Amino acid sequence: MGALSEKNALIERPRGAGKRRRAPAGQRVARLAILVLVLGYLVVPLLAMLEFSTRGDLDKATNTFPRSLQAFAAIFTYPNLVDGILASLQIAALTVFGMLLLLVPTMVWTVVRVPRMRRVIEFLCLLPLAIPAIVIVVGIAPVYQWMGQHLGSIGGSPLTLTFISIILVLPYSYRAIDASLRSIDVATLADAARSLGAGWPRTIFQVIVPNIRGGILSASVLAIALVLGEFTISNLLSFSTVQVVIYLLGKRDPYVSVAVSLVALVFAFVLLFVISRFAPGADTSTQRAAEEPA
Amino acid sequence: MTEPSASMSTPSASSTVAGPAQSGAGTSRFKGAGNYLALLPFLFYVGLFLVLPTLIVTLGALSTNDGQLTMSNIAALFTTDVFLASLIKSLELAVITAVLGAVVGGLLCWAVVRGDPNGLLRQLVVAASGVLAQFGGVMLAFAFLATFGFNGLITLFLKNNLGIGMDMSWLYSLTGLAIVYTYFQIPLMLIIFLPSLDGLRQEWFDASASLGGSAWSFWRHVGGPILAPSFLGALLLLFTNAFSAYATAQALISQGCVLITQQIACQMQSEVILGQENVGKALALWMIVIVSVVMLIYAWIQRRASRWVK
């Protein structure tokens, strides 16, 4: 951090300023040391991914690797990988759509009409946090077996993972939307819209939804990132999503696997960073929603 | 169960909603049960894809292959050495990486919170933490393979530049798992714990200072006790996070069933031993029990924490 933020810290965070007066050098050194050490630990493996994935063929003479983007180019030579990426992107889109359709009307309705059910809905939405993904797989495998046998090609499609993905993203999406809902007066907005003659669909989608855009955006981004990173369930149900293909490819062509992983991580990072920077009020809700483990 | 932490940063938000919401409750009493019907699609969906699987696991764990009630699947955890060993390994790993992640991540929080709350550093760190903490078990395993694997950056650097041919097989052992797990536990700690550190009030420090307290005595008598419940809560979340993890372990150690999650997967994929088909479900039920107990303690701690940080 530069001098600017130090100055800001003096203005906005007098607590820090107070302590700095007491132990200026010690505190600053400690802070810097922690930032360098911990962020270093977090950054080195990512740099290693970059170095690893940009290696060309070994130059025998110098025993070094020339830089090359061949691993990234090779992504498109693996049809499985492209299919996996496409499948995951489609699941992500369907999950966002389904999650919003399921969650937004229910949550709005709960706040406006049946507030006593709010705790129940919250409990159900947060429940996936207490049930590890591996456990959900064990329980849902029979359901998928049934779908595979009875629903023909639809039942065997990786897109059916959408059903579980919606469950997996519930806690995160719930919190993001809940934070937005709490920041506006939903009941009054709904009353106003209704008294002007709007039906419920119109009230929810044209009046409430525009007011909770920040939360909806955060919820969607978290859902996309979670779906793109999901491995446990797709692997055990034998669906070739991007993570499963990366995992399998890792044994054959680690360079391409690392390249795809890096692209996916950077993609998720850019999504989250853009949200935290530009979505109004989304910073805290993203953070809050991301508060608990997957 | 996370209500308190949600209201922590927006103290006024809940009261804003509570007023009109309660008046809504008043009118809904007269409108009857119709209002509840609108919740049916949601309840049906969650019932089908969350509650039903949990029931399948629970009932399966308690029954034989032909549906007779039995305790032998549940008991298999204690009567079969490999199951117990994998549970113990999972618990060890979860405890060690939760403590490491909480301590190191807590320090990182302190370092980050000292800066500008809207600054670039903080936003970068928070966004990166979100990614590393939650979105890539397999990818993080590959990151470490690219670092310490046979052809990894550090391995090659040591070999080519320093002439040290280090044995990196530790990466595929419990030690390696602990290091990779800690790698995603630290960012998770940051995401969970940062709001609590933000909640420490200026007035408390001023009060402590005006009574002659040093920075140390502030943390010893004020900051520490106030943050203790949040810290413990975060520690528990980190524990369940590591305990439930499967992807990273599977990507690093794809052969064998080392952890309890892998053991369940192995049981599921090779249900061969006759009469043992439901053992995987029993192990899964044990996981639910352990995680639920931890989450209950977490909810209790959160309630205590919310008394202080409002």
- pLDDT, one tens digit per residue, over A94-152 is 999 999 999 999 999 898 888 888 889 999 998 888 888 899 998 988 888 888 788 77
Q: Give yes or no: residues A172 and A230 share one domain.
A: yes
**E strand or H helix at B71:** none
In the chain, the amino acid numbered A256 is V
B 195-224 residues with CB below 8 A of A?
Answer: 195, 200, 202, 205-206, 209, 214-215
ipTM of the complex: 0.80
Those residues whose C-beta lies under 8 Å from the C-beta of residue B113, and which sit 6 or more positions away, are B194, B197, B198
Q: Give yes or no: residues A39 and A80 share one domain.
A: no
Q: Name chain B contacts of A243, Cβ cutoff 8 Å.
A: 138-139, 247
A134 has a chain B CB within 8 A of its CB: yes
Structural domain containing residue A31: 3-53
The single residue listed with the structure tokens 């911990």 is A38
Q: Give yes or no: residues A48 and A164 share one domain.
A: no
pLDDT in tens, A91-106: 999 999 999 999 999 9
Domain assignment present for residue A69? The answer is: no
Interaxial angle between packed helices A24-53 and A254-278, expressed in degrees from 0 to 180 and rounded to the nearest 10: 140
Domain assignment present for residue A118? The answer is: yes
Q: Give yes or no: residues A166 and A251 share one domain.
A: yes
Domain assignment present for residue A62? The answer is: no
For residues A117 and B36, the answer to whether their CB atoms sit within 8 Å is yes
Q: Give yes or no: residues A182 and A254 share one domain.
A: yes
Question: In Å, how far is A154's CA from the nearest CA of chain B?
Answer: 17
B2 has a chain A CB within 8 A of its CB: yes
Torsion angle of C-alpha atoms B300, B304, B309, B310, degrees rounded to 10: 80
A163 has a chain B CB within 8 A of its CB: yes
- Residue of A35, A115, A293 with shortest CB distance to B240: A293
A 209-248 residues with CB below 8 A of B?
Answer: 225-226, 228-229, 231-232, 235-236, 243, 246-247
Domain assignment present for residue A70? The answer is: no
Q: Give yes or no: residues A86 and A150 share one domain.
A: yes
- Residue of B50, B143, B194 with shortest CB distance to A128: B50
B128 has a chain A CB within 8 A of its CB: yes
In the chain, the amino acid numbered B156 is L
The single residue listed with the structure tokens 């360079």 is A255
Domain assignment present for residue A240? The answer is: yes
Biggest alpha carbon–alpha carbon distance for chain A: 81
Residue whose C-alpha is closest to residue A108's, from B39, B192, B307, B9: B39
Q: Give yes or no: residues A280 and A183 share one domain.
A: yes
Q: Residue A161 maps to which CATH number? A: 1.10.3720.10
Q: Give yes or no: residues A271 and A125 share one domain.
A: yes
Domain assignment present for residue A65? The answer is: no
pLDDT tens for the 310 residues of chain B, in order: 333 433 333 333 333 333 344 444 444 455 567 778 888 999 999 999 999 999 989 998 888 777 778 887 888 788 888 889 999 999 999 999 999 999 999 999 988 887 777 778 888 888 888 888 877 788 888 899 888 887 888 888 888 777 777 777 778 888 889 999 999 999 999 988 888 887 777 778 788 888 877 777 888 887 888 888 888 988 999 999 999 999 998 888 877 788 999 988 888 877 555 556 688 889 999 999 999 999 999 888 888 767 665 4
Count of domains observed in chain A: 2
CA A58 to chain centroid, in Å, comes to: 37
Domain assignment present for residue A71? The answer is: no
Q: Give yes or no: residues A48 and A117 share one domain.
A: no
Q: Give yes or no: residues A25 and A157 share one domain.
A: no
Q: Name chain A contacts of B181, Cβ cutoff 8 Å.
A: none
Q: Give yes or no: residues A109 and A177 share one domain.
A: yes
Q: Give yes or no: residues A41 and A84 share one domain.
A: no
Go through the domains of chain B in sequence order and give each one's CATH number.
3-7+81-308 (1.10.3720.10)
Q: Name chain A contacts of B241, Cβ cutoff 8 Å.
A: 293-294
Domain assignment present for residue A59? The answer is: no
